[in-house]
């Protein structure tokens, strides 16, 4: 027997989320059916608003409110303007901020260079980092915090080769972060140690 069309569509939508298989998708869909009308309306509104009211910061590429661009970090004069932490995604920024141990700026690549996936430097938020550095002589160090896997390393090497001739110090997180680990899953102490023990590329 086939599910009625509206529930089939809801199951399909859930199944598009990462880590959600067909079985979980149908469980979530039926759970949604059982929710109160107001809860469902709030849920739907939260989904639409997240998409409509969030944009990326014109300077660093991190997510920000549409009416707060540049973002709160880029516009905070108390942040150390000489250091830029380059990360793969907005979740990595949150992970670092939660350590309360880093007070510089960020640049969010929204991806990594990945020859196997056909993702080149122009496909991620890298050209804007180059522009940012060429128009801002306050930045003295770039810490590369891409993940400790092949694509993350390739991206770090690429950034290093690109920036070193310009006289910018490029460092890489120490890997107490185990190989293959994502920085947004690392615990706070491991992250703090990784930043403290960073090495020059």
What is the closest distance, in whole angstroms, from the C-beta atom of residue 16 to Zn ion in the complex?
29
60 contacts Zn ion (rule: CB under 5 A): yes
Location of structure tokens 């880029």 = 74
Nearer to Zn ion, 57 or 142 (CB): 57
Nearer to Zn ion, 107 or 198 (CB): 107
Tell the burial category of 172 from Cβ atoms under 10 Å away from its Cβ (0-12, 13-18, 19+): buried
Q: Cβ of residue 62: shortest distance to Zn ion, in angstroms?
A: 5
- Least Å distance, CB 75 to Zn ion, is 8
Please tell me the number of Cα atoms within 13 Å of 142 on its side-chain side.
Answer: 29
With contact defined as beta carbons under 8 Å apart, do 100 and 79 qualify?
Answer: no
Nearer to Zn ion, 39 or 97 (CB): 97
CA dist 144 and 85 (Å) reads 6
CB of 38 to Zn ion, least distance (A): 35
Separation CA 11–CA 5 (nearest Å): 10
User: Contact with Zn ion (CB under 5 A): which of 57, 63, 96, 195?
Assistant: 57
Which residue, 29 or 93, is less far from Zn ion as judged by CB? Answer: 93
**187 vs 161: CA distance, rounded Å:** 30
List binders of Zn ion among 62-121 (CB under 5 A).
70-71, 74
Contact (Cβ atoms closer than 8 angstroms) between residue 162 and residue 181: no
Residues that bind Zn ion (CB under 5 A): 57, 59-60, 70-71, 74
């Amino acid at each position: 027997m086939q599910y009625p069309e509206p529930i089939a569509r809801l199951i399909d939508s859930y199944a598009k989320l990462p880590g959600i298989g067909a079985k979980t998708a149908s469980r979530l869909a039926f759970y949604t059916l059982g929710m109160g009308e107001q809860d469902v309306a709030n849920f739907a509104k939260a989904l639409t608003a997240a998409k409509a009211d969030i944009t990326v910061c014109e300077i660093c590429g991190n997510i920000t409110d549409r009416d707060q661009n540049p973002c709160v970090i880029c516009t905070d004069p108390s942040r150390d303007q000489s250091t830029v932490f380059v990360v793969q995604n907005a979740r990595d920024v949150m992970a670092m901020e939660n350590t309360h141990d880093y007070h510089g700026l960020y640049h969010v690549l929204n991806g990594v260079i990945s020859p196997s996936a056909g993702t080149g430097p122009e496909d991620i938020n890298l050209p804007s980092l180059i522009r940012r550095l060429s128009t801002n002589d306050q930045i003295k160090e770039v810490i590369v915090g891409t993940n400790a896997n092949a694509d993350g390393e390739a991206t770090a090497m690429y950034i290093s080769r690109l920036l070193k001739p310009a006289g910018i110090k490029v460092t890489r997180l120490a890997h107490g972060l185990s190989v293959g680990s994502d920085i947004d899953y690392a615990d706070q102490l491991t992250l703090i140690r990784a930043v403290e023990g960073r090495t020059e590329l």
